[in-house]
Structure 1
Amino acid sequence: MDSMWSKVDLSAVGVGRQSGGALINALQAGEGLLMFLRWQAIYAMLTAAAGESGVALDAVDRRVVDVFASVSREVAIALRIAASTADRQAHLAVEAFERLPQVARLMRDGVISVAAFGEVMLQTTGVEDADMIAAVDATTAADLREFGGVSRKDASDVARRAVAELDPDGLRARREARGKGVTVSTDVDGADVLIATTVQDAAVIDASIDAVADSVCADDTRTRGIRRHDAAVALLTRSEFGCSCGNPECTATASAGVVADRFASVVVHVVADASTLSGESEKAGWLDGFGVLDAHHVREIAARTDAVIRPLDIAGLADRAARAGDPYRPTTACDTAVRAVFGTCSEPGCARPAWRCDLDHVCEFDHDRPAAGGATCVCNLNPKCRFHNRRGQIHIDDRERRHVPDHHPRRRRRTPALRQLRRRQRVPTRGEGRRLPRRRRTQPYPRAGDLVRRHRPRTAVHVLARRGSANRRGASCTDRTGWSRRCDTTV
Structure 2
Amino acid sequence: MTMSNSSWSALDLDSVGAGGEAGGAKLNALRAGEGYLAFLRFQAIYAMLVAAADAEGVAVDAADRRVVDVFASVSREVAAALCVAASTADRQVNLAVEAVERLSKVARLMRDGVISVAAFGAVVLEATGVEDAELIAAVDAATASELAELGGVSRGDAEGVSRRMVAEIDPDGLRERRTARGKGVTVSHDVDGSDVTIATTPEDAAMIDASVRAVAGRVCENDSRSCGVRRHDAAVALLTGRPFVCDCSEPGCPVTASDDEIAAEFAKIVVHVVADAATVDGDADKAGWLDGFGVIDPHHVREIAARTDARLRPLDIAGLADGAAQAGNPYRPTATCDVAMRAVFGTCSEPGCDRSAWRCDLDHVTEYNHDAPAAGGATCPCNLNPKCRYHHLVKTFAGGWIDDQIIDANGVIWTEVTTPTGYTVRSRARNHWLLPDLGLVPCRHGEPVAPGVVDDVGQPMRGRSRTKAKHAYRMRIRSRRRYIAACAAAAKAAELDSAGPPPF
Smaller-chain TM-score range?
A: 0.7 to 0.9
1:263 to 247, 266, 269: 266
SS of the aligned residue for 1:146 comes to: helix
Residues in 1 aligned to 2:91 and 2:255: alpha-carbon distance in whole angstroms: 51
- TM-score for both structures, normalised by structure 1: 0.84
Cα distance in 2 between the residues matched to 1:37 and 1:55: 24
Q: How far apart, in 1, do the equivalents of 2:360 and 2:56 lie? A: 56
Aligned counterpart, 1:436: none
Is 1:334 aligned to residue 337 of structure 2?
yes
- Post-superposition offset of 1:400: 4.6
- Following superposition, which runs of at least 4 residues in structure 1 exceed 4 angstroms of deviation? 397-400, 463-466
CA gap of 1:184–1:222, structure 2 versus 1, over 3 A, is: same
Residues 311 and 464, structure 1, Cα contact 8 Å, conserved in 2? no
Structure 1: runs of 5+ lacking an equivalent: 419-462, 483-491
CA deviations on 1:273-325 (whole Å, 9 max, x unpaired) are 11110111110000000001000101110111111111001122122101112
Residue aligning to 2:423: 404
Maintained 8 Å contact 1:272/1:464: no
Aligned residues, how many?
Answer: 432
Larger mean Cα displacement after TM superposition, 230-239 or 144-153: 230-239
Q: Secondary structure at the match of 1:185?
A: strand
Contact 2:345 2:431 in 1 (8 A): no
- If the length of structure 2 is used for normalisation, what is the TM-score? 0.82
Q: 2:129 aligns with which of 108, 120, 126?
A: 126
Provide the rounded CA distance (Å) in 1 between the counterparts of 2:419 and 2:427: 18
Per the TM alignment, residue 364 of structure 1 is displaced from its structure 2 partner at its CA by 1.6
Q: Which has the higher contact order (CA 8 A, sep 6+)?
A: 1
Within-5 A mapping of 1:10-89: 10-89=13-92
Q: Are residues 18 and 470 of structure 1, via their aligned partners in 2, closer, same or farther at CA, if it must alter by over 3 Å? A: closer
Structure 1 residues 214-229: aligned runs within 5 Å: 214-229=217-232
Written as runs of structure 1 = structure 2, the 5 A alignment for 1:68-467 is 68-396=71-399, 400-405=419-424, 408=425, 411-415=426-430, 417=432
Secondary structure (helix, strand or coil) at the match of 1:366 reads coil
2:444 to 475, 484, 489: 475
Contact 2:382 2:439 survives alignment (8 Å) = no
- Would the aligned equivalents of 1:271 and 1:464 in 2 still touch at CA under 8 Å? no
Instruction: Determine helix, strand or coil for the equivalent of 2:220.
Output: coil
- Equivalent pair of 1:241/1:253 in contact (CA under 8 Å): no
Which residue identity lines up with residue 114 of structure 1 in the other structure?
V
Distance 1:82 1:207 in 2: 38
- Higher relative helix content: 2
- AA of the residue aligned to 2:59: A
Shift of 1:238: 1.3
Q: 1:481 Cα shift?
A: 7.0
CA distance 1:299–1:165, shift in 2 (3 Å): same
1:165-185 per-position Cα deviation (integer Å, ceiling 9, x unaligned): 000000000000001111111
> Aligned-residue CA RMSD in angstroms?
2.0
Instruction: Identify unmatched segments of 5+ residues in structure 2.
Output: 402-417, 452-504
Counterpart AA for 2:75: S
